[in-house]
Structure 1
C-alpha cells in the first residue's frame, strides 16, 4: 500500500524541468565592451582632474608622468580657496542659477502650453521660428545683446546674466511642449466642460502632469547656468561679481598657470552639479523617457 501511494504521489508531482542555460550572444558582449570602453573614455578627463588636484606642480609635469600622487597634496584645496574669493563666487553662481531655473520653468512651461494646447493663427510658423533660434550660435548674438544691455546700464551687473537667460530658452519650450502633446485631450475637454479657463487648466492640470519633464529641464538648466562662462566673461568685470567658472579662469596667468590650484578649484566646482545629478538622476531619465517626439 505504501509503495502504491508513493507511486501515485510521484505521478501527481510535475516533472522537474532541466535548467536551461542562457546563451550569451556575441553582439551583447561586444555592446557591453563598447559601453565599458566609452565610460572609461568619458570618465578619463574627470579622473585625471581629480588626481591632478592632489599633485604638486613638479608631479604634474614629471617625466615619466605619475598617475598616483605621491605625496598627496591636500593643501591644494585650501590654497585654491584662499587664493581667490571662491565663497563669494559660489554664492553668485548659486543664486543666479536658482533664479534663472525658476524663471525658465515658469516662462518655458507657459510658452509650451500655448504651443501645445492653444490654437491661434500662425502658431506652427511661430514655433518653427522659435526652434530656429537654437541653430544660431550664442556668439553671434553676443554683441547685439551687449549693446542692448549697455543701453539699459546692466553691463557689469548680474542682471545681464539673469534676465536674458530667464526670459528665453528654446530647448525648454520644445522639451515641455513635446511632453504636453502626450497628455490626452479628453482631460482638457472635461475641464472645459466644467467651466475651467486656460489659466486654470495650465495651473491645475498641466503643471502637475508634467512634473517629470519640469524636473529634468530644471536640472539641465541648472547645470547649464552653473557652467556658463562666455556670458560672465563678456558682461562682468568686477571680481566680486564673478561666478565660479570665471574665477577659475583667473588661475591661468600670462606666463605661469597654477595648474594644481586650478585642478583643485575645478574639482570643487563640480561638487554641486554632482550632488544635483546624484539626487535627481531618476527624474532626468524619467523626464526624457516620457517626453514624446510628436509634432
Structure 2
C-alpha cells in the first residue's frame, strides 16, 4: 500500500529522535531532582519536588562552574573574532589578489587539514611552555585564534562566487582593496560568515583535550573539563553532574534556536553532523 513506505520512514525517524533526545531529557530531569529522590526512584521519574538546588550549588559551591562558563565563553569569543578577521583577510587574498605562487600556497596550506589534531597537542604544549603561557587563559586562545584552513577554504570559494563586476565598479570609484573587502565582499558574505561563526563557537565550546592538557587546577578550567572533573570530585552525586551537563547545553541550545536557519546551512556547507 502507498502509506506503508512513508509510515515506515516516519517510524524510523521517530525512533531515531527518541534515542537521540532521551539522554538529554534524562539529564534535564535529573538536574532538577533532589538527590534523595534520584537515589530511591526511577531515573525517569519526574522531579518531585522541582528544585534549583543543584544549579545553585554548582554555580556558588566549590566546583566553581560559573567561572568555568565565563572562561569558556570569553575564550570562544576571542577565538571567534581572531579566526573571522584573519580568515576573511587570507581568503580574500587567495580569491581575489594576484601574487606569485598563490594557488600553490593555498593548496599547501589546505593540506594541513589532513593532519589529525591530536598530533599537534605535544608541539603546541611545548610552545606554550617555552613561552611561559602554560596554565594560563592565553594558552586556551592563542593556538586557535588565527585563520583555520577550513574557514579559509569556505570563504575563498564563496568570495570567488561574488561577481567581479561589482569589485571592478568599486575600484573605478576609487575604492582600495580594504574598502572593497569591508564595504562589498563582507556584507555579501553574511551567510557564510554566520555559518563559520556557528561552527567555531560550537567547536570550541565543546573542546576538551587541549584545555585538559594545557591547564591544571580550577582557575582556567573550561566547561567540558569542569564537567568531567565533577564525576571524581563529587563521586556519586549525579544530580550535580547532570546539572552541569544541562548548564553546558543551554548556551548551545539558545544559539541553535536563534540561528536555526544558519545552523542547518552550516551542515550543508560543512558536510558534518
TM over 0.5, shorter chain = yes
Cα distance, 1:24–1:251 mapped onto 2, change above 3 Å: same
Worse-matched range after superposition: 93-102 or 42-51 = 42-51
Partners of 2:29 and 2:47 within 8 A in 1: no
How far has the Cα of 1:33 moved from its partner?
Answer: 3.5
User: Paired residue for 1:67, among 38, 41, 44?
Assistant: 44
How far apart are the structure 1 equivalents of 2:259 and 2:107? 31
Structure 2 residue corresponding to 1:127, chosen from 106, 112, 124: 106
Q: Residues 58 and 64 of structure 2 are in contact (CA less than 8 Å); yes or no, is this contact kept in structure 1?
A: no
Contact 1:182 1:292 in 2 (8 A): no
Q: Cα gap change, 1:43/1:177 in structure 2, threshold over 3 Å: closer, same or farther? A: farther
User: Who is 1:239 aligned against?
Assistant: 218
Counterpart-to-counterpart distance in 1, 2:169 and 2:4:
52
1:268 aligns with 2:260: no
Contact conserved, 2:26 with 2:43, CA < 8 A, in 1? Answer: no
> 1:86–1:247: 8 Å Cα contact kept in structure 2?
yes
SS of equivalent to 1:252: helix
Say which of 34, 39, 60 aligns to 2:12: 34
Matches within 5 A, 1:15-26: none
Which of the numbers 184, 198, 204 marks the counterpart of 2:163?
184
Deviation at 1:26, TM superposition (A): 5.2
Distance 1:70 1:117 in 2: 58
* 2:83 alignment counterpart: 104
Matching of residue 137 in structure 1 with residue 77 in structure 2:
no
Given that residues 80 and 200 in structure 2 are in contact (C-alpha distance below 8 angstroms), is that contact kept between their aligned partners in structure 1? yes
Q: 1:36 to 1:117 in 2, by over 3 A?
A: farther
Taking structure 2 as the reference length, the TM-score comes to 0.86
Does structure 1 residue 159 correspond to structure 2 residue 164?
no
Mean Cα deviation higher: 40-49 or 208-217: 40-49
**Alignment equivalent of 2:25, drawn from 28, 32, 47:** 47
TM-score by length of 1: 0.80
SS for the counterpart of 1:239 is coil
Match of 2:150 among 171, 174, 179: 171
Q: Which residue of 1 aligns with 2:177?
A: 198
Q: CA 1:52/1:134 → structure 2, altered by over 3 Å: closer, same or farther? A: farther
Aligned-partner SS, 1:132: helix
Displacement after TM superposition at 1:153 (Å): 0.6
RMSD: 2.7
